[in-house]
Amino acid sequence: MQIEKATVKTHDLVGGDYRELVLTAPVTAKAAVPGQFVHLRVPRLDGSVLRRPFSIYRARDDRLSILYKTVGRGTRAMETIAVGDTVDMIGPLGNGFPLDAMGENPALVAGGYGVAPLSFLAGEVDVRGTVFIGGATARDILCVGDFESLGWTVRITTEDGSLGEKGLVTAALDAWVATQQGTPPVYYACGPDGMLRAVGQRAVAAGHTAWLSLDKHMGCGVGACLACVQKIRGADGSVAWKRVCKDGPIFEASVIEWDA
């Protein structure tokens, strides 16, 4: 982990409110593994010193990219980043997904921008499986071609039915799980809190393994401020606060103590 001054190579709208920011960042790109994130200082964001965390979407050679959705002040300011700009970035941060725990029947479950680290993951493993991509509307469904070109089976759901099956991604997951015989699925999920809880609860109830990438508001991003803590159960059953930025963001579902 280090601070790197990255240079903006391209910055394009890729659909809906989502943009891909491609950076030349050789040190971070070489060290990155799927599930890790970078902490960006947003240029021209007056009065704010806080960085913003984004999952690494692609990392190859000297290039790294993120896929972000505009939701507030920081991401709105990010829209003005231009090709050739320098972006101050700390990374790669966090633990990353366990690549050797996938088994033979993986199920990736993505909500909105949660598809970014799962696309990176899908290209870094030899096994192929099923990807569930969910969003509110068709505008929230991204990266389908990434997975298909790698040989993954893609199932799309939208809440308004504008693309794929109508409903929640967990309904499509339930229907698929009911057809699975033999090798139990192992889940890798990234998306909104509610989706992660639902996937985690299903996995725990069925005795399956689920690796969840938690999405917490962050301050420092490097383990110093405790803004991002989550209750996690240890092997002896005791519960302790863990830092999502440093000890996570990925935790196995059975150790997560969700807030009421």
Ligand X SMILES: Cc1cc2nc3c(=O)[nH]c(=O)nc-3n(C[C@H](O)[C@H](O)[C@H](O)COP(=O)(O)OP(=O)(O)OC[C@H]3O[C@@H](n4cnc5c(N)ncnc54)[C@H](O)[C@@H]3O)c2cc1C
Residues numbered 159 to 218 that lie near ligand FES (CB under 6 A) are 218
- Residues paired with 153 in a beta bridge: 130
Of the residues 92, 94, 221, 249, which one makes contact with ligand FES according to CB under 6 A:
221
Q: How far is the CB of 182 from ligand X (least distance, A)?
A: 34
Of the residues 20, 37, 211, 232, which one makes contact with ligand X according to CB under 6 A:
37
Residue 67: contacted member of ligand X, ligand FES, none (CB under 5 to 8 Å, by partner type): ligand X
Of the residues 6, 54, 132, 186, which one makes contact with ligand X according to CB under 6 A:
54
Chain-centroid distance, C-alpha 234: 24
DSSP string, 105-167: SEEEEEEGGGHHHHHHHHTT-S---EEEEEESSGGG---HHHHHHHT-EEEEEETTSSSSEES
Residue 243: contacted member of ligand FES, ligand X, none (CB under 5 to 8 Å, by partner type): ligand FES
Contact present, 55 and 35 (Cβ < 8 Å):
yes
Q: How far is the CB of 248 from ligand X (least distance, A)?
A: 8
153-158 and 2-15 as β-strands: parallel, antiparallel, unpaired? unpaired
- For residue 249, whether the previous peptide bond is cis, meaning omega lies within 30 degrees of 0, is yes
Residue 71: contacted member of ligand FES, ligand X, none (CB under 5 to 8 Å, by partner type): ligand X
- Residues paired with 23 in a beta bridge: 8, 64
Of the residues 226, 239, 240, 241, which one makes contact with ligand FES according to CB under 6 A:
226
User: Interface with ligand FES by CB under 6 A: which range of 69-77, 137-145, 192-200, 223-231?
Assistant: 223-231
Look at the alpha carbons of 26, 58, 9, 76 in this order and tell me if their dihedral is positive or negative. negative
Of the residues 21, 25, 29, 55, which one makes contact with ligand X according to CB under 6 A:
55
Q: What are the E-state strand segments in the chain?
A: 2-15, 18-24, 37-41, 52-55, 58-60, 63-69, 86-93, 106-111, 130-135, 153-158, 165-166, 186-190, 209-213, 229-233, 239-243, 250-252
Tokens representing 8 are 């903006």
Residue 15: contacted member of ligand X, ligand FES, none (CB under 5 to 8 Å, by partner type): none
Residue 73: contacted member of ligand X, ligand FES, none (CB under 5 to 8 Å, by partner type): ligand X
The 77-116 contact track toward ligand X, x by CB under 6 A, reads: ------------------------------------x--x
Of the residues 1, 27, 177, 227, which one makes contact with ligand FES according to CB under 6 A:
227
Is 44 among the residues that bind ligand X (CB under 6 A)?
no
Residues numbered 75 to 114 that lie near ligand FES (CB under 6 A) are none
Rounded to whole angstroms, the Cα distance separating 221 from 23 reads 20
Residues that bind ligand X (CB under 6 A): 37, 52-55, 66-69, 71-75, 113, 116, 215-218, 249
Residues that bind ligand FES (CB under 6 A): 218-221, 223-228, 243, 245
